[in-house]
């Protein structure tokens, strides 16, 4: 998911790579870092300088620079202008994301591919012109570019088209990016459009109502996340696929709640009976929303569905057997969660920084806890891990600083890197000959043995 979660994933992933994996030798050229690729060209992987204007070199040593790597300039706070050489044909995911001072960028005439969210969070970016050469654009590259009022494209691009500053594919069947800074209050989606791309309207602060034609057959995730004034969706009565009522947009064919609109501003909401799925980011960042009632018909909760909500408690229906990544991330007021009895998997970052969560009753069916699932849940004091649990992901309980005791199951198969890092004065309850015992001994943690007939030899 985009937003803070992507940034966290990059930090954790970088930490792992830097200590354990060497995919290619990282080299330096001035303030740039780069890697040599198998075709003897170079990819810029980072920048360590503080210049306001950056000109990326077209060669490093004797290797032509053909690509900008993922996250290469992420979170640079000083650069205001970037010039990319004509030798570059590819820009990877998040390459310039969160460059909060960046106002202008010159894209090369031969650029072929842009990855996901390339300029996400570049809140000062005022203008950008896409070259005619582009053949691939990933997820909305201009998500949260607050000052970007329109997108331009040079020449006659055979794959993409811009109308009134809005980016579409050439056939105008997919709406890719509605600029965050576009100031109009209303927008009518053209009748040629059949699909709204993921995050296509994300974070626009002006729009209040949108009209969807009955030609729309596919909406990816919640395209309207962060549209703080959006309160109304106008949908043709002849639409066979979508319906809007009670402040939410639904896919009637899939029985999925797609988006709970920001303009609703209610403290509680009841998802209608019959709904089977909550879409990605459907309720994302609704701090006013304290209570949500979910129907028993629900089977699927997708990534970041309730992230950054003001929820204080939640009961997950019994038919849900897996929770998506970042489901309740940064729900800082969440105190109580009732898990379904058949839950088998809790996704990565599912309860990241849910600091008010004080008790955790995990179901017996749970087999897998994902990466950073309960990172910085500082309200937890005791962890009773269910007997069928097999896998604990990297950083799963990192910085759960108030935990004093962990009850490890005997069949545990894997404990991820730094899963319990930052917990002091810990006591582990486990059995002799188990992974829990091995982990406790390696980390010099005091053990209380469950099998009372066993006595460590050093205590005899």
Domains of the chain: 14-147 (3.80.10.10)
Has residue 12 got a pLDDT over 50?
no
Distances (CA, A) of 248 to 110, 151, 237, 243: 42, 29, 16, 8
> C-alpha distances in angstroms, 65 versus 28, 35, 52, 135, 140?
13, 10, 21, 19, 25
Q: How confident is the model at residue 21 (pLDDT cuts 50, 70, 90)?
A: very low
Name which of 4, 16, 2 is nearest 417 in CA terms.
16
Residues in the chain: 460
Q: What average pLDDT score do residues 4-13 get?
A: 43
Q: Global pTM?
A: 0.85
Q: Is the pLDDT of residue 9 over 90?
A: no
Show the beta-strand stretches assigned E in 56-138.
59-60, 63-68, 81-83, 90-91, 104-106, 113-114, 129-130, 136-137
**Cα distance between residue 403 and residue 383, in whole Å:** 7
- pLDDT (0 to 100) of residue 155: 77
Query: Which H or E run includes 442?
Result: helix 435-442
Paired tokens of 327: 């489901």
Mean pLDDT confidence for 47-75: 95
Q: Give the pLDDT band (50/70/90) at residue 318.
A: very high
Contact in structure between 232 and 239 (CB atoms under 8 Å): no
Confidence of residue 18 (pLDDT cuts 50, 70, 90): very low
Confidence of residue 457 (pLDDT cuts 50, 70, 90): low
**pLDDT per position as a tens digit, 226-279:** 898 999 999 988 889 999 988 999 999 999 999 999 876 689 999 999 999 999
pLDDT (average), residues 92-103: 96
Closest alpha carbon to 390 in 414, 374, 373: 414
334-340 average pLDDT score: 95
HEC string for 286-314: CCCCCEEECCCCCCEECCCCCCCCCCCEE
Residue 6's pLDDT band (boundaries 50, 70, 90)? Answer: very low
Lowest mean pLDDT segment, chosen from 15-19, 83-87, 213-217, 364-368: 15-19
pLDDT band at 23 (very low <50, low <70, confident <90, very high): very low
CB 300 within 8 A of CB 276: yes
What's the mean pLDDT in 173-185?
A: 96
Q: Which of 181, 131, 2 lies closest to 74 in space, CA to CA?
A: 2
pLDDT recorded at residue 454: 56
Average pLDDT (390-418) is: 95
2 falls in which pLDDT band (50, 70, 90)? Answer: very low
Mean pLDDT of all residues belonging to the chain: 90
Distances in Å between the Cα of 355 and the Cα atoms of 4, 19, 59, 443 are: 17, 29, 48, 25
| Tokens coding 441 | 């001994």
């Amino acid at each position: 998911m985009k937003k803070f979660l992507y940034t966290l994933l990059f930090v954790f992933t970088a930490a792992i790579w830097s200590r354990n994996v060497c995919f290619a030798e990282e080299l330096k050229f001035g303030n740039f870092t780069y890697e040599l690729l198998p075709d003897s060209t170079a990819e810029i992987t980072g920048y360590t300088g503080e210049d306001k204007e950056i000109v990326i070199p077209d060669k490093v040593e004797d290797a032509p620079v053909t690509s900008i790597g993922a996250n290469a300039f992420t979170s640079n706070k000083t650069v205001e202008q970037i010039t990319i050489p004509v030798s570059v044909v590819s820009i990877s995911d998040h390459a310039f994301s969160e460059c909060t001072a960046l106002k202008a960028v010159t894209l090369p005439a031969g650029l072929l591919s842009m990855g996901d969210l390339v300029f996400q969070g570049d809140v000062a970016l005022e203008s950008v012109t896409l070259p005619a050469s582009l053949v691939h654009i990933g997820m909305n590259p201009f998500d949260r570019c607050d000052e970007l009022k329109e997108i331009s494209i040079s020449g006659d691009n055979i794959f993409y088209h811009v109308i009134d500053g809005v980016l579409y594919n050439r056939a105008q069947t997919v709406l890719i990016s509605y600029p965050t800074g576009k100031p109009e209050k209303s927008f009518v989606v053209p009748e040629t459009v059949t699909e709204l791309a993921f995050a296509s309207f994300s974070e626009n602060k002006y729009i209040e109502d949108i009209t969807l034609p009955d030609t729309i057959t596919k909406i990816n995730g919640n395209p309207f996340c962060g549209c703080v004034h959006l309160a109304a969706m106008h949908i043709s009565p002849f639409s066979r696929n979508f319906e809007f009522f009670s402040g939410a947009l639904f896919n009637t064919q899939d029985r999925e709640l797609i988006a709970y609109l920001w303009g609703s501003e209610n403290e509680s909401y009841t998802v209608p009976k019959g709904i089977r799925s909550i879409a990605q980011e459907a309720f994302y960042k609704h701090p006013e929303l304290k209570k949500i009632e979910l129907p028993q018909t629900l089977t699927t909760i997708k990534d970041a569905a309730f992230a950054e909500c003001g929820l204080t408690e939640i009961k997950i229906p019994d038919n849900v057997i897996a929770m998506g990544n970042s489901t309740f991330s940064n729900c800082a007021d969440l105190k109580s969660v009732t898990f379904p009895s058949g839950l088998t998997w809790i996704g990565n970052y599912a309860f990241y920084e849910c600091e008010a969560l004080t008790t955790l009753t995990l179901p017996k069916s749970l087999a897998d806890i994902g990466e950073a699932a309960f990172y910085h849940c500082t309200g937890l004091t005791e962890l009773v891990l269910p007997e069928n649990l097999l896998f604990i992901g990297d950083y799963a309980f990192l910085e759960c600083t108030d935990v004093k005791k962990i009850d490890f199951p005997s069949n545990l198969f894997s404990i991820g890197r730094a899963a319990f890092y930052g917990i002091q004065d810990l006591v582990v309850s486990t059995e002799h000959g188990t992974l829990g015992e091995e982990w406790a001994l390696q980390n010099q943690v005091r053990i209380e043995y469950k099998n009372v007939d066993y006595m460590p030899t050093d205590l005899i």
